[in-house]
Amino acid sequence: MSLNSFGHLFRVTTWGESHGPAIGCTVDGCPPGFALSEADIQPWLDRRKPGQNKYTTQRKEPDEVRILSGVYEGMTTGTPIQLMIENTDQRSKDYGEIAQSFRPGHADITYHQKYGIRDPRGGGRSSARETASRVAAGGVARAVLAGMVPGLKITGYMVQMGTKVIDRSRFDAAEIERNPFWVPDAQAAADWAVYLDELRLSHNSVGAVIEVVAEGVPPGLGAPLYAKLDSDLAAAMMSINAVKGVEIGEGMASAALTGVENADEIRMGPDGPEFLSNHAGGILGGISTGQPVVCRFAVKPTSSILTPRKTVTRDGNEVDLVTKGRHDPCVGIRAVPVGEAMMACVILDHLLLDRGQTGGVRGQIG
Amino acid sequence: MSLNSFGHLFRVTTWGESHGPAIGCTVDGCPPGFALSEADIQPWLDRRKPGQNKYTTQRKEPDEVRILSGVYEGMTTGTPIQLMIENTDQRSKDYGEIAQSFRPGHADITYHQKYGIRDPRGGGRSSARETASRVAAGGVARAVLAGMVPGLKITGYMVQMGTKVIDRSRFDAAEIERNPFWVPDAQAAADWAVYLDELRLSHNSVGAVIEVVAEGVPPGLGAPLYAKLDSDLAAAMMSINAVKGVEIGEGMASAALTGVENADEIRMGPDGPEFLSNHAGGILGGISTGQPVVCRFAVKPTSSILTPRKTVTRDGNEVDLVTKGRHDPCVGIRAVPVGEAMMACVILDHLLLDRGQTGGVRGQIG
Amino acid sequence: MSLNSFGHLFRVTTWGESHGPAIGCTVDGCPPGFALSEADIQPWLDRRKPGQNKYTTQRKEPDEVRILSGVYEGMTTGTPIQLMIENTDQRSKDYGEIAQSFRPGHADITYHQKYGIRDPRGGGRSSARETASRVAAGGVARAVLAGMVPGLKITGYMVQMGTKVIDRSRFDAAEIERNPFWVPDAQAAADWAVYLDELRLSHNSVGAVIEVVAEGVPPGLGAPLYAKLDSDLAAAMMSINAVKGVEIGEGMASAALTGVENADEIRMGPDGPEFLSNHAGGILGGISTGQPVVCRFAVKPTSSILTPRKTVTRDGNEVDLVTKGRHDPCVGIRAVPVGEAMMACVILDHLLLDRGQTGGVRGQIG
Amino acid sequence: MSLNSFGHLFRVTTWGESHGPAIGCTVDGCPPGFALSEADIQPWLDRRKPGQNKYTTQRKEPDEVRILSGVYEGMTTGTPIQLMIENTDQRSKDYGEIAQSFRPGHADITYHQKYGIRDPRGGGRSSARETASRVAAGGVARAVLAGMVPGLKITGYMVQMGTKVIDRSRFDAAEIERNPFWVPDAQAAADWAVYLDELRLSHNSVGAVIEVVAEGVPPGLGAPLYAKLDSDLAAAMMSINAVKGVEIGEGMASAALTGVENADEIRMGPDGPEFLSNHAGGILGGISTGQPVVCRFAVKPTSSILTPRKTVTRDGNEVDLVTKGRHDPCVGIRAVPVGEAMMACVILDHLLLDRGQTGGVRGQIG
């Protein structure tokens, strides 16, 4: 019910505004007895950190996470884990104008309409900065998953930036960490750099599609019908700023398939049933199949741009607004670690939920 | 937390298996004092009812809803409303074989793995039959919305069936109720009939994309960040059987847009701010803007088909399975009223949630 | 969040009015693979059934429970279990007058004020009849607990009726099922019969205190700080009609104890630590200790009595109201099986919740 | 579902251990547009603060609260409010021994059994220090209530300490703030001081009963049957450390009353119906009547005492334990402001919940 929480048993509540003293989250329901320190979380935050290259906002912040509770002598205790990240680079002067006018495509106007008041500094609560809390929570989830499901691996990458779509025949996982776009293709990385530079210099921005894959997810996770694994993933990804679409497996393209094409046929392998394809994206009936869980989401282009756009002020005056300040030309880039974090949280949550209801015992085949 | 519930304040819990004695749902948190009888709900169920034409399953059931509680002298009382629909056409003999083997693309295998037991009759809990409960709950939501937000209108229709996509220049809302596909284009309806007949006769099936639009939604609905209106819509739609993707506004296509293109510019109209476009699909920052809320979802092709597919049995034997029985060649058709129902439930839920937190007072502009 | 649900993972949602067509509940989150049929639930309902002796309402109903979902071939499937009990003895004529006036001490006036409408037939939703749904849900919980925690035993009994308090030196568990008051003392049963007859014949009623003890509860159940085992028990018991107080262990009397007296000292026994007393009622810090969980609750006297009481009508007229009809002289009698049912539900819920978070592994001592 | 949260719409999640760097809470769902600063919260914390007299622990901490989010220019924004209190006086050396042994009557043993690990420093999460977060959240609730329900007044006081019970004929509200026991009777304050001094010097401790009254609560708050106002109050109070019993109105004593005695008769007053007594404690059927809401709870004696008690160590050795350090001889004293805070949170939560479902419209009488 909580408006700023997600998850059932592994439950994360985030708080904080972009330019307040700090942001953070409470991770409740974490299993006890897992090794955890700031050093387990910080690397994930460092991947999301702005200012690492010219394609992300030039805001410079160390984004250092502190664990304030729930850990004793380097181990989780089962009590709530409070993670706090101080905001150190708050240039509130940049945002004076937007206190009075509403950036088109931004949450400014709806926060104002709903609450009658909003914190305009850096976008306040609607800033992408909130996603740092998600990444921190994801770091906790990963630390626990590492112990509970040793073979689990979560990988996010961009598959589309603007009109540029990757050629999957050139997919190279090793390339993901080598370029600023997290794109699994060196050639695409080079092309996209030129493309995004042009957009940035023309005071424009562009959207993106991120794919997150979880390998090694055990079968049986997901609780039909309203706590389905895919339903929870959809909610988790759609809750990320600027996301406008979520797909599982074939996603929207499944509409164009026939039943014959779409069926993931099954044969017996050495360790049990094996699927001959994965159109389902690892989820059937809301429950994981044991295949890789494949999720994609689209991020709209950054709405804060240097090109003037028509809007109105709180007083009802019509103006043309240029959003000065430091903005990501493609906010989708930094959404990659965020999507991974949400995947980690959802999977751990469902591991605990399934263990609660079923004891984790699996029906046998063969 | 409930595994079979959705909604925050207007909360629906569904129950029932395809071939058990009945299915139904409890609608909790319904506002008191609204007129409600079976006659308000039945028409929506009739639209979803199978067996109405050759494109939907030939299962014949009246799908008559009964209100068992929560209504007194034709008015909602604020106590839980129990809606029950008896199952009358249960041909369990059709489903003998699938008790032993797993239909590819179906939830058979995952239910078995998770629970170690499943009700195979008609797909049990994973049957599309469960969506009748959603439609019934949606009928309650519509009855309340009619009183609370008089101008609100929710319309669902198909925009794609298999490889056939509608031509939006021929969009004709009046056509939606005239053809079995709920497609807003008479020409498409004729073409699709031929197309689907061919697929059906070749023992195949096909997917679809449904669009649901809510007009007249007041601004201010949606509670960031994890009870966002779009996040809850994504979860609601993804929880429908066979759905693999959900989009708001431009959806996945927003990735290809630039910030200049995507910005919905704002001018002052006679009654306040007006947007010059609606790429956002009526939602910014998780909160409704007052523009039409536009949601699309993709339904995968029916997995129960008469074409043999490779699979395994519970005993681990490899078999080729033909799913006999009565199946929809395009289950997406019947998902149209289901999508409308979920939209109605989500909007009412957020109306109540917003009224709870803010009192429904709106920030002024101009 | 649901207004008519309780429990975290084992979650019960009740519905229905006293004189509507039926009452019932949905049990969600039940573990799969446990034997369950109506025959497992009916005996518990029979214990609560009215009309069994002159001390309970003369309403005659078979209270036959039907399982409508969630069970296949006599086994729970993990999907929601719908339990329905039809109302067969609805004498609405008895309740004509109370539609216009408010019984003192009853929920009539508050339902009217809150909702602006109420179902006056038999008390509608506020009738003690709703507790039949709790007992049915408790029957499901007991069936699962019998499999999961073989030694668990839940026993409820009356320890006080009106001004009569049991003498614990004469406590005889075997006596509980032998008298209409569930009192563990044959002498008290005889005395109370005389006492209650007098009250009944003088058109009066009286309150009671019920004690429910759960033996064999494993240590480690309960999730501090807001899902504590005692906090959930308090909510569960206080949600029963007419309950005005809840105690754990020493309860209110613990205020008068010193720290020296109250400490349950610990020694090592053959199987681990043993407590030398149980002032705590089996719960420390919100978590079960392994000792018997002891809970008591007070039920106020039935407010529907044949003695005239001053009240007002909806029109604001002052009247003296005599509540005709069939009433329990001590509604606390029938609260005994209800309290047991709530105890069973809370314990199972916490077993699942604990298994979800910790895997059910226990810290070692010695 | 969250283990460390309470409330439906006004939802508080607490975190932190006694001797970690800080404790605090997130207040989610707070209505926007209410004036709030640290100065509104600090006075309530100061009342709870330890070390103010010889009857509370000598731990000296300023307990300064910081608002880290959710407030902009002195007004609540509707986004989550993070409240943090740094721990400044952490004498971990005092607690070395209890890391190895379990204090009788304390949560040491159950935390160990449940989680396999516990933070022993100052009691970790099970310390009464957590209640500071509740008081801070209560301060936020009070600030909003002051605007929403101007006449509302919440008052807590002790009515029993050990074997000493107040004489209600001498009740003097003005006295409450004048003595260290919050007792509404100057004579009792003097007597209790002698009594508690003796207990303290004999290395003992004692329990207490606190009564919290909310005057000016509008009728109609509370959502039957499982979000009843009294059910939520019971859970809220029972979740406070060391509480073993909760009563509403007559509480446990209602068992001894007859229906004739217990009925709060009703007459018409100038502004609507008026009750002639308040045995119900302001709640009927789980819904507020408009009369004062009266809640009592019992706090057991402090379990950390200087008198040796028999216990065991983690290794299974039997020892006699003396709990050195700084302890409250009557922890119930500091529970007074905590009980008030929980009352404030529950009432605000139900105000919002009721406004959400019903719009706050009331059924008319007369």
- For A204-219, the pLDDT digits (tens) are 999 999 999 999 999 9
> Which of the four pLDDT bands, split at 50, 70 and 90, describes residue B59?
low
Interface mutation target, options D13, D144, D351, D352, chain B, most CBs of B under 10 Å? D352
**CA dist., res. C93 & res. C91, Å (int):** 5
Counting as contact any 3 or more CB pairs under 8 A, the partners of A are: B, C, D
Contact D79 B356 (CB under 8 A): no
Identify whether the C-beta of residue C363 lies closer than 8 Å to the C-beta of residue D116: yes
The yes-or-no verdict on residue B185 having pLDDT over 70 is yes
Over residues B316-337, the mean pLDDT reads: 89
Identify whether the C-beta of residue C273 lies closer than 8 Å to the C-beta of residue D266: no
Over residues C2-21, the mean pLDDT reads: 96
Contact B359 D31 (CB under 8 A): yes
The yes-or-no verdict on residue B92 having pLDDT over 60 is no
**CA dist., res. D227 & res. D285, Å (int):** 11
Give the model's pLDDT for residue D48.
82
Query: To the nearest whole number, what is the mean pLDDT of chain B?
Result: 94
**CA dist., res. C284 & res. C289, Å (int):** 7
The yes-or-no verdict on residue C88 having pLDDT over 90 is no
For the entire predicted model, the pTM comes to 0.97
The yes-or-no verdict on residue B4 having pLDDT over 80 is yes
Q: How many residues does chain B have?
A: 366
Among candidate residues C241, C21, C17, the one with its CA nearest the CA of residue C122: C17
| The pair of three-digit structure tokens given for residue A3, joined into one six-digit string | 């408006």
Q: Please tell me which residue of chain A has the smallest CA distance to B279.
A: A105
Look up tokens 């639930």; give the residue: C41
Among candidate residues C2, C9, C4, C42, the one with its CA nearest the CA of residue C28: C9
The yes-or-no verdict on residue B2 having pLDDT over 90 is no
Q: Which regions of chain A are under pLDDT 70?
A: 1, 51, 57-59, 90-96, 326
Give the model's pLDDT for residue D327.
77
List all residues 6 or more positions away from B236 whose beta carbon is below 8 Å from its beta carbon.
Answer: B6, B342, B343, B345, B346
Contacts of B357 in chain D (CB under 8 A): 9, 29-32, 78, 352, 356
Give the model's pLDDT for residue B52.
73
The partner residue sitting opposite D301, judged by closest CB among C259, C312, C357, is C259
Distance of CA D109 to the CA centre of its chain: 24
Distance of CA D242 to the CA centre of its chain: 11
Over residues C329-336, the mean pLDDT reads: 94
Give the model's pLDDT for residue C323.
82
**CA dist., res. B229 & res. B243, Å (int):** 19
In chain B, pLDDT over 90 holds for what percent of residues?
Answer: 87
**DSSP E strand stretches across A2-140:** 5-6, 11-16, 22-28, 65-67, 71-72, 75-76, 81-86
The yes-or-no verdict on residue B97 having pLDDT over 90 is no
The yes-or-no verdict on residue D311 having pLDDT over 70 is yes
The secondary structure of chain A, three-state, reads: CCCCEECCCCEEEEEECCCCCEEEEEEECCCCCCECCHHHHHHHHHHHCCCCCCCCCCCCCCCCEEECCCEECCEECCCCEEEEEECCCCCHHHHCHHHCECCCCCCHHHHHHHHCCCCCHHHHHHCHHHHHHHHHHHHHHHHHHHHHCCCCEEEEEEEEECCEECCHHHCCHHHHHHCCCCCCCHHHHHHHHHHHHHHHHCCCCECEEEEEEEECCCCCCCECCCECHHHHHHHHHHCCCCEEEEEECCHHHHHHCEHHHHCCCEEEECCEEEECCCCCCCEECCEECCCCEEEEEEECCCCCCCCCEEEEECCCCEEEECCCCCCCCCCCCCHHHHHHHHHHHHHHHHHHHHHHHHCCCCCCCC
Contacts of B119 in chain C (CB under 8 A): 72, 77, 79
Contacts of C227 in chain D (CB under 8 A): 2-4
Contact A114 B358 (CB under 8 A): yes
List all residues 6 or more positions away from B232 whose beta carbon is below 8 Å from its beta carbon.
Answer: A235, B222, B346, B349, B350
> Cis (ω within 30 of 0) for the bond into B225?
yes
Give the model's pLDDT for residue C333.
94
Identify whether the C-beta of residue A312 lies closer than 8 Å to the C-beta of residue B134: no
Give the model's pLDDT for residue A57.
66
The shortest C-alpha distance from B73 to chain A (Å) reads 32
Distance of CA A315 to the CA centre of its chain: 36
Tell me the one-letter amino acid at B232. D
The yes-or-no verdict on residue C51 having pLDDT over 90 is no
Contacts of D11 in chain A (CB under 8 A): 1-3
Contacts of B315 in chain A (CB under 8 A): 366
The yes-or-no verdict on residue B55 having pLDDT over 80 is no
Q: Poorest-confidence range of C125-134, C318-327, D217-226?
A: C318-327
Identify whether the C-beta of residue D83 lies closer than 8 Å to the C-beta of residue A130: no
pLDDT in tens, C249-280: 999 999 999 999 999 999 999 989 999 999 99
**CA dist., res. C128 & res. C331, Å (int):** 8
The partner residue sitting opposite D353, judged by closest CB among B32, B356, B359, is B356
Contact D9 B357 (CB under 8 A): yes
Counting as contact any 3 or more CB pairs under 8 A, the partners of B are: A, C, D
Give the model's pLDDT for residue C1.
53
Q: Please tell me which residue of chain C has the smallest CA distance to A354.
A: C356
Interface mutation target, options A112, A113, A198, chain B, most CBs of B under 10 Å? A113
In the sheet where D5-6 sits, what is the strand order? Answer: D5-6, D11-16, D22-28, D81-86, D65-67
Among candidate residues C69, C81, C73, the one with its CA nearest the CA of residue C138: C81
Rounded (10°) CA dihedral D239, D243, D249, D253: 140
Interface mutation target, options C8, C11, C15, C64, chain B, most CBs of B under 10 Å? C15
Give the model's pLDDT for residue B305.
87
Of all helices (H) and strands (E), which one includes residue C315?
none
**DSSP E strand stretches across C162-284:** 164-165, 208-215, 243-248, 266-269, 272-275, 283-284
Contact D79 B31 (CB under 8 A): no
Q: What are phi and psi of A84, to 5 degrees?
A: -130, 135
Q: Poorest-confidence range of A253-267, B116-130, D3-17, D243-257?
A: B116-130
Give the model's pLDDT for residue C223.
97
Q: Poorest-confidence range of B5-19, B198-212, B298-312, C57-71?
A: C57-71
Task: Provide the ipTM.
Answer: 0.97
Contacts of A352 in chain C (CB under 8 A): 356-357
Neighbours of B130 (CB within 10 A): 26
Look up tokens 């004690």; give the residue: C211
Contact C124 B79 (CB under 8 A): yes
Among candidate residues D183, D192, D162, the one with its CA nearest the CA of residue D301: D162
The shortest C-alpha distance from A275 to chain B (Å) reads 9
Among candidate residues C126, D366, D356, D266, the one with its CA nearest the CA of residue B223: D356
SS3 B275: strand
Identify whether the C-beta of residue D26 lies closer than 8 Å to the C-beta of residue D82: yes
The partner residue sitting opposite D312, judged by closest CB among C234, C263, C267, is C267
Give the model's pLDDT for residue A49.
78
SS3 C249: coil
